[in-house]
């Protein structure tokens, strides 16, 4: 079972690497990693299990956060109390996005950043992603609001970008009035 300690911290230079395209079929190791990530993210969002297994709550994780420089990530979205939708996106890219920008009012978080951060991270309110599923089938997924934020956050990881890079250092709340808080 994946543990919080298995997730690499922002101090690790590997997080700044641009991940490599995945070749199909997936290796058994990659399939296992994806399933481990799904289990971690699901359990981490269930308070009793998060406490029992000492998991930091998270809704998304990119392979690079486990030290695997491959272009895939998982988002486990709790769309209703206790009900989860799993998104496994391999070799993902944004094919369209809204003009409207949003930000997470309480600030974005990241399983690889173990400190308080201040400021807003501008994101598109809606995105459509094209990717491949675990069987190598091309898929299209749409995300809005927090799901759109999660997709963009994890895609950034695949390009060696952390959400804190998008916070304006001199003015952490820059353009806040031009975006909508979620």
- Residues marked active site are found at 154
Backbone angles phi, psi at 157, to 5 degrees: -55, -40
**What six digits make up the tokens of 165?**
């890079």
Q: Are 102 and 112 in contact (CB under 8 A)?
A: no
Q: Are 117 and 167 in contact (CB under 8 A)?
A: yes
Q: Residue 93's CB: how many other CB atoms inside 10 A? A: 11
Taking the C-alpha atoms of residue 70 and residue 30, their distance in angstroms, rounded to an integer, is 9
Residue the block writes with tokens 């609001």: 145
Half-sphere exposure of 23 (CA within 13 A, CB side): 1
The closest of 121, 126, 123 to 174, measured between CA atoms, is 121
């Amino acid at each position: 079972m994946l543990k919080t300690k298995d997730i690499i911290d922002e101090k690790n230079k590997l997080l700044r690497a641009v991940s490599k395209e995945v070749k199909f079929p997936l290796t058994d190791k990659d399939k296992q990693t994806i399933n481990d990530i799904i289990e971690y993210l699901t359990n981490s969002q269930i308070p009793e299990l998060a406490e029992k297994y000492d998991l930091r709550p998270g809704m998304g994780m990119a392979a690079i956060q486990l030290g695997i420089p491959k272009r895939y990530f998982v988002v486990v979205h709790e769309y209703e109390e206790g009900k989860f939708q799993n998104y496994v996106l391999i070799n993902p890219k944004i094919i369209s996005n809204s003009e409207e920008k949003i930000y997470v009012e309480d600030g974005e978080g990241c399983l690889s950043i173990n400190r308080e951060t201040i400021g807003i991270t501008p994101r598109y309110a809606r995105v459509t992603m094209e990717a491949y599923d675990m069987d190598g089938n091309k898929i299209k997924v749409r995300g809005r609001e927090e799901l759109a934020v999660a997709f963009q956050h994890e895609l950034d990881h695949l390009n060696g970008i952390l959400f804190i890079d998008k916070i304006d250092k001199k003015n952490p709340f820059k353009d806040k009035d031009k975006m909508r808080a979620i």
